[in-house]
């Protein structure tokens, strides 16, 4: 017999419902006007609540935004993981699907995407960022690149001993300690290049031009995989 969680009483159900409504209303404000427009007072007005009532759920605006950032990371990571599922697909195809999901989510949630990478209160200089659910998706990208590398007779190092050491530390932080530096490099290059292209795309820099952002992204993926598998 499996243990079942105790059923919530009416008060707990109402609190959980209000919590979800706070999340939804907060995202609605961010999607419409940007994170700068989100305040406890603005949120309370949109929900026909008093500000003190909202403070019973979140002690400050910073705490609310931190929660929304974590939730957004979870949604982005889930979209990436689901898009790349399917063991029958070739690893190269799954890499493309994972990256495409990253871009699609960013384009659908432009202001949430900007919120994820904005500096926030409490982010001190030199302070290491906390691990996020996106790191799980990053780990999946590493695994796919390792699978690609395993099919090619390529060397495992970059040729730069200092960089190789840094890459091994990075792989350790991703819970992938056995990852060769070349695979770690390919993962970082793909993510940074894609992030850069998507960020520029969101500013409208490619609007009314003949350059297609997705083609640039595909080229960067191909270049990273070529580096990974080159002898």
State mean pLDDT over 60-66: 96
The number of C-alpha atoms within 13 Å of 113 and in the hemisphere containing its C-beta is 19
State residue 135's pLDDT score: 80
CA dist 142 and 152 (Å) reads 16
Block residue for tokens 């990256």: 99
Query: CA triplet 223, 154, 162: central angle to 5 degrees?
Result: 80
State mean pLDDT over 2-17: 78
DSSP state of 2: P
Residue 201 main-chain phi, psi, to 5 deg = -60, -40
State mean pLDDT over 11-39: 95
pLDDT at 27 over 90: yes
State residue 123's pLDDT score: 52
In CATH terms, are 8-59 and 70-118+131-229 the same topology? no
State residue 50's pLDDT score: 96
Average pLDDT, the chain: 88
Provide the token pair at 86. 């399917």
pLDDT at 1 over 70: no
Which of left, alpha, beta for 34 (phi over 0: left; psi -120 to 50: alpha)? left
Rg of the chain over all Cα atoms, to the nearest angstrom: 21
Q: Are 68 and 20 in contact (CB under 8 A)?
A: no
DSSP state of 150: T
The per-residue pLDDT for range 76-104, each reduced to its tens digit, is: 999 999 998 876 889 999 999 999 999 99
Computed from CA positions of residues 167, 172, 173, 174, in that sequence, does the dihedral angle turn out positive or negative? positive
The per-residue pLDDT for range 193-205, each reduced to its tens digit, is: 999 999 999 999 8
pLDDT category of residue 43 using cuts at 50, 70 and 90: very high
Number of H helices, E strands in the chain: 10, 0
State mean pLDDT over 16-28: 97
Burial 122-137 (b: 16+ CB within 10 A, else e): eeeeeeeeeebbbbbb
Provide the token pair at 33. 């006007």
Question: What is the CA 152 to chain-centroid distance, rounded?
Answer: 29
Spans of all domains in the chain: 8-59, 70-118+131-229
pLDDT at 210 over 90: no
Does 182 or 133 have the greater pLDDT score?
Answer: 182
CATH of domain 70-118+131-229: 1.10.357.10
Burial of 34: CB neighbours in 10 Å, binned 0-12, 13-18, 19+: middle
CATH of domain 8-59: 1.10.10
DSSP state of 35: G
The per-residue pLDDT for range 109-128, each reduced to its tens digit, is: 999 999 998 865 545 444 44
């Amino acid at each position: 017999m499996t243990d079942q969680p105790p059923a919530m009483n009416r008060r707990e159900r109402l609190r959980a419902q209000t919590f979800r409504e706070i999340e939804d209303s907060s995202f609605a404000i961010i999607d419409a006007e940007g994170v700068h427009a989100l305040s406890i007072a603005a949120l309370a007005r949109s929900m026909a609540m008093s500000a003190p009532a909202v403070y019973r759920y979140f002690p400050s605006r910073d705490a609310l935004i931190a929660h929304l950032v974590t939730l957004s990371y979870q949604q982005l990571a889930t979209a990436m993981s689901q898009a790349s599922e399917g063991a029958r697909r070739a690893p190269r195809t799954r890499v493309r699907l994972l990256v495409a999901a990253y871009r699609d989510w960013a384009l659908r949630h432009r202001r949430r995407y900007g919120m994820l990478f904005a500096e926030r209160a409490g982010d001190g200089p030199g302070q290491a960022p906390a691990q996020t659910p996106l790191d799980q998706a990053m780990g999946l990208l590493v695994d796919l690149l390792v699978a690609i590398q395993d099919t090619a007779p390529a060397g495992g190092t970059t040729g730069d001993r200092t960089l190789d050491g840094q890459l091994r530390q990075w792989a350790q932080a991703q819970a992938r300690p056995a990852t060769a530096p070349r695979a770690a490099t390919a993962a970082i290059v793909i993510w940074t290049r894609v992030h850069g292209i998507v960020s520029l795309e969101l500013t409208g820099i490619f609007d009314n031009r003949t350059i297609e952002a997705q083609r640039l992204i595909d080229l960067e993926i191909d270049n990273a995989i070529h580096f990974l598998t080159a002898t």
